[in-house]
Amino acid sequence: MARPIKETPILYGEDARRFEERMNEKRYEDPEKKARRIRNYEMIMKIFEG
């Protein structure tokens, strides 16, 4: 049987500020890496379909 999920801690002060800054950062993904990631995803989905 699965364990219950613990309550998510609330961030305060400097930790909260850093977390929010990091979430608002634009993340750059190399077009080649993105294409590879999408190909891999599509390959896995084909395997699961049957």
Task: Give the pLDDT confidence score for residue 1 in this predicted structure.
Answer: 78
- pTM for this prediction: 0.49
Q: How confident is the model at residue 43 (pLDDT cuts 50, 70, 90)?
A: very high
C-alpha to C-alpha distance for 48 and 50, rounded to whole angstroms: 5
Residue whose structure tokens are 């400097």: 14
C-alpha to C-alpha distance for 5 and 33, rounded to whole angstroms: 33
The pLDDT of 3-22, averaged and rounded, is 94
Say which amino acid occupies 6: K
Q: How confident is the model at residue 19 (pLDDT cuts 50, 70, 90)?
A: very high
The pLDDT of 8-35, averaged and rounded, is 95
Q: Is the pLDDT of residue 50 over 80?
A: no
Tokens of 32: 């080649």
Q: Which residues contact 19 (CB under 8 A, 6 or more apart)?
A: 11
